[in-house]
Amino acid sequence: MAERRLSLGVETGIIHRRIEDESLSGATITIDGRPLTNFSSCAYLALNRDERLKAAAIDATRRYGTSYSSSPTYTALPLYDTLEEHLRQITGGSVAVAQTTTLAHLAALPIMVGPEDLVLVDAQTHDSVHLAARALRGVGARVTSVPHNDVVAVEQHLDTAAARFRQVWYLADGVYSMYGDLAPVKEIAALQQRFGNLFTYYDDAHGFGWLGEHGRGYVLAETPINERMVVAAGFAKSFGSVGAVLVFGDPAAARRVRLVGGPLTFSGPITPPDLGAATESARIHLTAEHAERQERFCADIDWVRAEIVRRGLPVVSMAKTPIWFVRVGSPERVAEMISRLIADGFYLNAAAFPAVPVGEGGIRWAQTLHHSREDLAALMDAIERHLPEVLGKPDIVVDLRGEVDSLVGKADPAER
């Protein structure tokens, strides 16, 4: 199913595109010789084009080369120490630095979760977390999907099963990457007070950097780190670099993951230019300048929220985040809507299965400090103009029962 839907995106020219720019300066990219305002970027605070980060990347490359070809288990560049110290100040926890957020999940979760544990995974958690959850099945853990942001369902699982397991892990995003909605962090933290074996693991890649004191992210802005909590976050979005961090409330857990986490032990390091840029970004996050950027960005988010209400745009979530999603239905409708917006000079993300549930496809856009309010207003004008026409067309309904049966096979009825 995923292959067919993604193939449609390739055929209609809305995904797998290569930009034609020789350099980038802001919100505009070039595709098929036409400038498009890019709303697919998640460089929320516009640090990816900051001259200081570029200078730090160049300096690190001159001093250490384009790569340092050794596992960090043996030796690592001194930039690691500086970066980790900055990240401890930002987050207030013990940290381990990883190459990507996906590798961070694969390094941490199989070390902390065992065969006597129950794992509750939010149904809409990022695919990288689900990938790690599949690895947990391999070590014998019981892995169960729970409805999105359904605290009552989580509590019911805890009431009926927590006592039978050594640990119960709740896996979720902080800011969800498709709808831009938020995890019920405070409600889950309250459940931790009731259940002494409940552990939480959040992927806060889309909240880290632009939200919370010094950019510590949505999750750590809602609740301080505790010994039964782990937060993973990436540098590839708001932070303006490449890499990731795992934040632990338990220093012993951080040490164990750093010592034996597979991707941290057997894979290569973050490259010198990315280390240089990440270290400079972390330094900026600890200054008053970051708070000023954050204030401007949050004001822009509030402005867009007010415009969405005024225009009556049917976004899925009105959470105060920079991610917006309008559901339009079938992949064909999504393709038509994105194609119309490209023709108007805007590039957005098409979202269909497997990024969202079957039949729940839509258009997703992200705002950044690269965008002016004029850019944002022009996009919303175009969406307002095209959406009624696209939604007014008959949707394509496909009977998926046989296809789903062939994929599910003989799975447990509850899983079906």
**Same structural domain, 110 and 14:** no
pLDDT in tens, 163-201: 999 999 999 999 999 999 999 999 999 999 999 999 999
Rounded mean pLDDT of the chain? 92
More confident residue, 411 or 159: 159
**Same structural domain, 33 and 90:** no
Angle between helices 272-285 and 51-64 (to 10 degrees): 140
> How many Cα atoms are found within 13 Å in the side-chain-facing hemisphere of 19?
15
**Same structural domain, 38 and 56:** no
**Same structural domain, 256 and 153:** yes
Pairing of strands 94-98, 118-122: unpaired
**Same structural domain, 154 and 261:** yes
Decide if 156 is inside a domain: yes
Number of domains making up the chain = 2
Domain stop point among 285, 316, 335: 285
Decide if 396 is inside a domain: no
pLDDT in tens, 93-152: 999 999 999 999 999 999 999 999 999 999 999 999 999 999 999 989 999 999 999 999
**What does the pLDDT read at residue 399?**
45
Q: Determine the structural domain holding residue 90 and report its residue range.
A: 51-285
Decide if 407 is inside a domain: no
In the structure, what pLDDT confidence band is assigned to residue 400 with cuts at 50, 70 and 90?
very low
Decide if 116 is inside a domain: yes
**Same structural domain, 185 and 273:** yes
Decide if 410 is inside a domain: no
**What does the pLDDT read at residue 414?**
46
Q: Determine if residue 95 is left, alpha or beta; phi over 0 gives left, psi from -120 to 50 gives alpha, anything else beta.
A: beta
Decide if 296 is inside a domain: yes
**Same structural domain, 225 and 114:** yes
Angle between helices 151-161 and 185-194 (to 10 degrees): 20
Pairing of strands 198-203, 229-234: parallel
**Same structural domain, 200 and 121:** yes
**Same structural domain, 98 and 11:** no
Quick check: 398 pLDDT over 60? no
Decide if 406 is inside a domain: no
**Cis amide bond preceding 224, omega within 30:** no
Domain stop point among 240, 255, 285: 285
Decide if 8 is inside a domain: yes
**Same structural domain, 66 and 148:** yes
**Same structural domain, 64 and 188:** yes
The enclosing domain of 90 has a CATH number of 3.40.640.10
The enclosing domain of 331 has a CATH number of 3.90.1150.10
Domain stop point among 269, 285, 301: 285
**Same structural domain, 138 and 281:** yes
Instruction: Flag whether the pTM goes above 0.85.
Output: yes
Q: What is the DSSP letter of 47?
A: G
Dist. CA 376–CA 38, nearest whole Å: 11
Percentage of the residues of the chain whose pLDDT score is greater than 90? 81
